[in-house]
Structure 1
Amino acid sequence: MRSKPGVTRRGLLLGSAAALVSACTGRSAPVAAPTSAAPASSPSPLRASITIHRRHSAARGRDVDVVLMTPDGVPSLGLPVCVALHGRGSNARTFLDLDLPAALTAGVRSGVPPFAVVAVDGSHYWVPDGSDDPRRMLADELPGWLSEAGLRPMTGVLGISMGGFGALNLARRRRDVRTVATCSAALFRTWPEARTRHIFPSQDDWTAAEPLQHVDELPTRGLGVWCGDGDPFLAANRKLISSAKPEVSRITAGEHTEEYWRGVLPEVLRFLGSRLA
């Protein structure tokens, strides 16, 4: 599958060289090299439209990437924030492969109110798994990382596949989240469906976490749902649409693929930006 022009892993590697030059000259570069710098004493604007920091997450017991993406040419200080949650087997840099930064810049240039997208490494359907707790990372650690970058607290969430499961769960627990968008959300209508994923230790654990089991706790205003008509999670997404009655829902041609997600991201970002403003 061919990628559309934009930021890719190859571009990221090429950009890191420019970022090292930037560190010596004080000039901004397209991509800042990963850092593990100590927290800044006061917020400062991001020096590039894509900045990657390596942070230690005590909640997850490991280092994680925090990928900060802002529209080109827009000052980052004070921007509203949408947190992006990736799918199973992926990581925060997946959103670079999906050309999200280019789509974000194009959207803002067409009139979408500017905002920042922040992705972070997660796992386990964004629920606790023993000592690895991505949910606690989002609640307790990510706010500080956003503040260090001079960004506002999170008020929007975007989730793809497993990240859609996590985004809906996050919205259940965070009433300050005003808009949520899911693409191909990996949801399960029944315990037998969920059990095949070998993520949830028991039916009770799945029931407690499954968004479709807690539809009354999900937002309706500010909720957008996208899914391809050839997606294996189509039936579960149709159930989400019929029961949660989201503000916007789109079932269009596509499968559970990067090609589909690239295609819908511009519309998804317009949806998010207009509600984050």
Structure 2
Amino acid sequence: MRSKPGVTRRGLLLGGTAALVAACTGRSAPVVAPTSAAPASSPSPLKASITIHRRHSAARGRDVDVVLMTPDGVPSTGLPVCAALHGRGSTARTFLDLDLPAALTAAVRSGTPPFAVAAVDGSHYWVPDGHDDPSRMLADELPGWLSESGLRPMTGVLGISMGGFGALNLARHRRDVTAVATCSAALFRTWPEARARHIFPAQQDWTAAEPLRHVDELPSRGLGVWCGDGDPFLAANRKLITGANPEVSRITPGEHTSEYWRGVLPEVLRFLGPRLT
């Protein structure tokens, strides 16, 4: 099914705290950030290019948002791509609320090689659930959507909370992924912990998907792990760090909140950029 082209708007302020996007109907949604007058002596605001496409995913059996974010002032054609996987109860647009586009522009201005971030709607810890298969969408459909936008294939993945679970699973099966970063990855040390989430039909389904049960399949090079010291998944993330021996691991003050993720994203993006090419 052919989708209508997306709509791009520029002008995202770095310090914006208001919600950047409201739910839209129709096939494409414009993104307009609120702005305020800046003193004449202040530096130019950090901008970003944001495009939202509404695509039909046969793998998921529904329409999904594909949010493409590129650094301001950099031609998007031919950029390497990092996929961004959101947490449970969130959507691809969550990364706009987390100010990722402005953080991406700031990272590139500080010397990080430019790249694009592609966020897409998912669910079910990014594993199959009946006829809804977000993992197949990432493997079979996202590459074509990126190509249509003039971007290179995905070589990196960033996951927050539930998205961290999905990002690690993706890295297990995709050796062309050269950079993986997780923030507050929602991982489960035991079946009773996982069962309480009502996601996995049976223990064998969880065992097959749980990254902590397959740490030997995870790449240590190009893997970065971030978690707050007050996060409910802290113990599971410590187990991930011990078992996978990531290239970078950071346990810093913070909880399982948007404030924590917004705070660590600049460092996460600086980690990802040089490892995508």
Q: Same fold (TM over 0.5)?
A: yes
Whether the 8 Å contact between 2:180 and 2:224 is mirrored in structure 1 is: yes
| Paired residue type of 1:203 | Q
Whether the 8 Å contact between 2:14 and 2:102 is mirrored in structure 1 is: no
What is aligned with 2:159?
Answer: 159
What is aligned with 2:83?
Answer: 83
In structure 2, the CA distance between the partners of 1:108 and 1:7, relative to structure 1 (3 Å rule), is farther
What is aligned with 2:209?
Answer: 209
Q: Please give the alpha-carbon distance, in whole angstroms, between the structure 1 residues aligned to 2:17 and 2:169.
A: 29
CA-CA distance at 1:237 after TM superposition? 0.1
Q: Please give the alpha-carbon distance, in whole angstroms, between the structure 2 residues aligned to 1:124 and 1:12.
A: 24
Name the one with the larger helix percent: 1
RMSD, matched Cα:
2.0
Whether the 8 Å contact between 1:67 and 1:119 is mirrored in structure 2 is: yes
SS at match of 1:214: helix
The answer to whether 1:109 aligns with 2:114 is: no
| Paired residue type of 1:50 | I
What is aligned with 1:241?
Answer: 241
1:40-72 CA distance string (max 9 Å, x none): xxxxxxxx7100000000100000000000000
What is aligned with 1:6?
Answer: 16
Q: Please give the alpha-carbon distance, in whole angstroms, between the structure 2 residues aligned to 1:7 and 1:111.
A: 25
In structure 2, the CA distance between the partners of 1:196 and 1:30, relative to structure 1 (3 Å rule), is closer
Q: Please give the alpha-carbon distance, in whole angstroms, between the structure 2 residues aligned to 1:94 and 1:7.
A: 13
Structure 1 stretches lacking a partner, 5+ long: 21-28, 33-47
1:165-207 CA distance string (max 9 Å, x none): 0000000010000010000000000101100000000000000
SS at match of 2:189: coil
SS at match of 1:249: strand
CA-CA distance at 1:4 after TM superposition? 7.0
1:103-146 CA distance string (max 9 Å, x none): 00001001110000000000000000001000110011000000
What is aligned with 1:231?
Answer: 231
Mapping for residues 29-108 of structure 1, pairs under 5 Å = 49-108=49-108
Structure 2 stretches lacking a partner, 5+ long: 1-12, 34-47
CA-CA distance at 1:8 after TM superposition? 5.0
What is aligned with 2:39?
Answer: none
Whether the 8 Å contact between 1:8 and 1:96 is mirrored in structure 2 is: no
Count how many residue pairs are aligned between Structure 1 and Structure 2: 247
Mapping for residues 125-204 of structure 1, pairs under 5 Å = 125-204=125-204
TM-score normalised per structure 2: 0.86
SS at match of 2:71: coil
